[in-house]
Structure formats: structure tokens, C-alpha cells
Structure 1
Amino acid sequence: MVNAKYLEKWEQGKPVDDWFFKQLMGQEALCRAFLNEVTPGKNFGKLKITTQDETDNGHNKKVIFDILAIDEKANYYNIEMQIVNQHNLLEWSLYYQSMMITNMLNPEESYRDLHYSYVIFLCEFDPLEEGDRVITTLERRIVENPTKELADKTRVVFINTNGDLQNVGGELRGFIQALKEELPSNSNSQLGKQLMADFKELKGNEKGRNDFMFFTEKEQKAIEQKRDIKIATLILNDDDLPSKYKIKLLTDILGDENQARNLIAQHNKEAVH
């Protein structure tokens, strides 16, 4: 869904948006180059890539993968871009991975036939609040023997695009810099240059631009307002969300911390009555 913020970033030429991300990462060459950096040791041939791939768990709980790539050995790679920290990324990644695994086996296949599954989140924040580390990889280990890796073929990778890029390999560093429109002119990152070139080509595609401009400015503002009202309502009604997070999230929506605090206080007062 296109809104006013997307339109503004299109005019500014900034590639850090969900719509652009799906269009770019849906291209096999770029997706393969990115996965080569994030999942070292894999030898990618062809990739089958789908965007906005939808599935559910049989109980109407739908999952829509931003990017779902399957390699020649039937390993699954889900790539997501997350701009807003909803403080549920661990649970989110677990659920998405479980849905990928559920779709791997046919009835006659053995559990030993399970393939690798990767969930990769590109975040504009520190997902685990551990500092400025860029890459965080999660895997299952034995509590009583933490040095032993289970090798159960599951991985979750969080990439903090605002982390310290000095400790990241040059190719991935260039990709993140290009994603943030900060790629230096003297960069040697072929991945970063490829991302920038693909983005410029996408911007020059008149059909893509026309599709992007489908909504009028009035419609975009109405859509954005309804979306923000819906998100604010969900935040207010979430009893498990700590107050400090409610204040921060509502401040981002309303643009005023005092207004956010007053809204929470009024909501709590009405809930009591």
C-alpha cells in the first residue's frame, strides 16, 4: 500500500522503503549476491524467488513473506525489512521459520529430509538492544553444553543497518551503505554498486513509477491516517506492552510525547470505567 511517506521518499530518490526493497530483492542476481554474503558457505545456483508470498497455519493466521527464495537444493531463505521496532522480532522470526519448515516436506518424506531454513531481518534498529553490532546470528544449542551446535538446519540472522559498519565485510558494508544511500563513490563493493544500479533502473521504469503514483495525494493522506489510527489503537489495547514502549511508539505516530502520555492516561481512565 502506497502512502504519502513512500511518495516523499520516491521524490527524494531514497531506496530505503518496503516497496523498493521487494522490487530490488526480487531480482535473482541481487538476491543471490546478498545471500552469498549473509549465508557464507552456501553455493547458490539458481534461485526461485517470490515476493509477497502468502501462507497460513490452517487457523487463518496468515503469513506474508516479503522475499521467499528457494535454492536448487530446496533450502529456504526468507528476507524481511523492518523499519519500526515492534519489540517482537524473536517471536516473529520463530513463527515465520516454523511456517517455512511446515511447507518443506511432502507426506511421504522423512523428518531427516528437512532442508536449511534462514530467516533474515534487515532492521533500522538494534533488534536485541545489545549495542552497535551489525550481524547477530541465532541458532539452537544445548543449555548444558553450550559449545555444541545442534546443526538442526535453522538460522535466524538480524542485520542492524545502523550498527558499526567497520566490523563488517566490504561487500555487505557496501550493500547497507547503498540501502541507506550512503555508498561512497570510491567503494569497491560490487554488491553495493549493483544495488545502486538496480535502484536507478527501477526509478527510471515509467510503468513502475505510474503504478507507484496510483493514489492521489488526498487518498494517500487518508490511507496513512487510517493506518496510524489502527496502529495507535492496537498499541493502546496491548496490555502486555510496557508503558515506556507505548509512549515511544505513540510519540512516533503523534509527534508529541505529552500528547502520547495524555492519550494513554485517558485510555487507562476509560478502561477502568
Structure 2
Amino acid sequence: MAALGKEWNEIGISNDFLFGKVMRDPELCRELLEVILNVPIERVEYPEEQKTIDIAQDARSVRLDVYVADGNNTVYDIEMQTVQEEGLPKRSRYYQGMIDLALIEKGEPYTKLNKSYVIFICTFDAFGKGESVYTFENMCKEVEGLSLGDETHKIFLNAKGASKNVSPSLRAFLEYVAGNKSEDPFVKKLDEAVVKAKKNEKWRREYMTLLMRDRENVEKGRAEGRAEGRTEGYISSIRLCRKFHMTKEATLEELKHDFSLNDAEAMKVLEKYWNDESK
């Protein structure tokens, strides 16, 4: 596996850690939302990088990459997604529900729920139809054009999309997510922020610490040899491989090497934990 420092130097905006740091700039975040939604946004308030929502002690918590609100009672969750998962649509549903629960206190009227957007910026085509943008709202099947009016929106962007019905700015942004720079003003500003962020020694140490912790969990799983310890090690190893955007085949080899598994054993582990949401 490549050295951690080198990986920090090579990561780009599609890395969720770096994306969250760059989006701490409210002006950049505001411009990104304008590019995605193609509507003017006056300002964004209280950007919360990697916001965690815990509703109950025994419930699964939600960690959001970028969670912001604007001045018009609308909230936005923006997620950077580099791994294609079968359960991604249902994850968007779960995020939406948890955001709603966090927006109102017990006993408050539902009318206080904010208009909300859950946005996934994907480096792949989540639905395989070739579109650059997939927008979902709740509509009536029987009456054409009748909206439920719950003011929830789920948007999936596809960095590899080929559709032409998107703005030049959004096209340039998606190409930048895919690794291609351009002369687009927003992309240039975003790239400058990425370069600046990668010079931040505190963030570099934080990133490396997270990766080192994952590696320590892998080693812990190997050393303990207990079922629980090995499970933690399996999950941590797969998580680390996915952070480095390694393929399933490369991850399989890592599992075989780290845990002395044969082909069948490693494949069984990979299939069981590859899409584990705890990662």
C-alpha cells in the first residue's frame, strides 16, 4: 500500500475528507450550491463539516460531509461519493429522515420542517442511464404533475455523465471531480482552495492520523485472532482500501496478505463487508 504522505499529496476534491475541509469556506459552498441547483443563493449559514446526527443512543448515527443552511429556511447535505454501493438510494432516504428528526423538537408541528436537499456528488453513474444529474422528488403516480409538497429533494450527480442539458459551470465542476481541470472561474477558485488546503499541516496530520488509526485496527484484528477482533480488522482493512480508491481485486489481495486467507475466504469476507455502511 502506498505511503500515507504521498497519498495526501495526490488526493483531490473527490476525497471526502478534503472536500469537507474545502467546503468550510461558506462562499465556496454557496457557489457550489448555485452551480448544482442553478438558482441564486444569497448566503449559507453555519457550515458544519462532517456533522454527526445522533437521535438515540441505540440508533445508527449519521455523519454528513457538508451540512449547511441558507437564509431561506432551506438545509443542504452534500456528500462526496467515490464508491458505488447498491444501497445508495436507501442511504439517501435514511439521511433525509435523520435530518428531519434533527430539525424539529419532540411535539413541534411538522410544518416547521425545513425544505431540504440531499446531494450526492458521485464519481460514477449511480443509475447507469448516462445522465449527469438525477433529481428525485415525491410525485403522485396517478395524477401527472401533482407533487406531494413535502419539500424534500434528492440529487445524484454523475462526474462521468454525458448529458448536454447541464450548465457549462456544472459540466466543468463534474469534470473537475473526475480529475480534469478547466478555465471555468469556479473550478479555478475551487482548485486554488484545494491546493491551499493541502498545504495545511494540521489537516494533513489529521488525515494521516485517521488512516493510521484504520491501519492499527487492521493490525489489532490480525494480532487478536478473535472473531470480533478479526471482524473489526476486516472492516478496517476494507475501509482503508476504499479510502485509497483501490479496486475490489486489489482489496482482495490485501485481505489475503493481511489475514493469511485463501482465495475463497478472502472473497467471502470482501462480499460480506464491502458495502458495510459503518465505513
TM-score range, shorter chain: 0.7 to 0.9
Change (3 A) 1:21 1:144: same
The equivalent residue for 1:270 is none
Are the equivalent residues in 2 in contact too, given 1:4–1:224 (CA < 8 A)?
no
The equivalent residue for 1:97 is 96
Change (3 A) 1:254 1:179: same
The answer to which of 103-112 and 88-97 deviates more is 103-112
Offset, 1:204: 2.3
Offset, 1:231: 6.7
Change (3 A) 1:5 1:194: farther
Task: Give per-residue Cα distances to partners, 1:54-97, cap 9 Å, x unaligned.
Answer: 11232421111111111123311001111111211111000100
Identity of aligned residues (%): 25
Cα distance between partner residues in 1 of 2:267 and 2:52: 38
- Equivalent pairs counted in the alignment come to 246
- SS of structure 2 residue aligned to 1:120: strand
- SS of structure 1 residue aligned to 2:264: helix
Offset, 1:166: 4.5
Task: Give per-residue Cα distances to partners, 1:129-180, cap 9 Å, x unaligned.
Answer: 22x2110000000111133223321000001112226443111222223333
The equivalent residue for 1:152 is 150
- Contiguous gaps of at least 5 residues in structure 2: 222-231, 240-246, 255-260, 270-279
Cα distance between partner residues in 2 of 1:95 and 1:153: 16
The equivalent residue for 1:208 is 203
Task: Give per-residue Cα distances to partners, 1:213-245, cap 9 Å, x unaligned.
Answer: 44798x7755567677227899xxxxxxxxxxx
The equivalent residue for 1:124 is 123
Task: Give per-residue Cα distances to partners, 1:241-264, cap 9 Å, x unaligned.
Answer: xxxxxxxx85352159xx997337
Letter in 2 for 1:204: K
Cα distance between partner residues in 1 of 2:81 and 2:164: 22
- SS of structure 2 residue aligned to 1:142: coil
The equivalent residue for 1:40 is 38
Letter in 2 for 1:93: S
Equivalent residue runs for 1:36-185 within 5 Å: 36-58=34-56, 59-107=58-106, 109-130=108-129, 132-164=130-162, 166-184=164-182
- SS of structure 2 residue aligned to 1:182: coil
Are the equivalent residues in 2 in contact too, given 1:165–1:173 (CA < 8 A)?
no
Are the equivalent residues in 2 in contact too, given 1:36–1:44 (CA < 8 A)?
no
Letter in 1 for 2:25: Q
Are the equivalent residues in 2 in contact too, given 1:83–1:123 (CA < 8 A)?
yes
Are the equivalent residues in 2 in contact too, given 1:122–1:159 (CA < 8 A)?
yes
TM-score normalised per structure 2: 0.74
Q: CA RMSD, aligned part only?
A: 3.4
Cα distance between partner residues in 2 of 1:46 and 1:79: 13
- SS of structure 2 residue aligned to 1:77: strand
Does residue 262 of structure 1 match 2:264? yes
Equivalent residue runs for 1:187-266 within 5 Å: 187=183, 189-214=184-209, 221-222=215-216, 229-230=234-235, 250-251=248-249, 253-254=251-252, 262-263=264-265
Are the equivalent residues in 2 in contact too, given 1:52–1:66 (CA < 8 A)?
yes
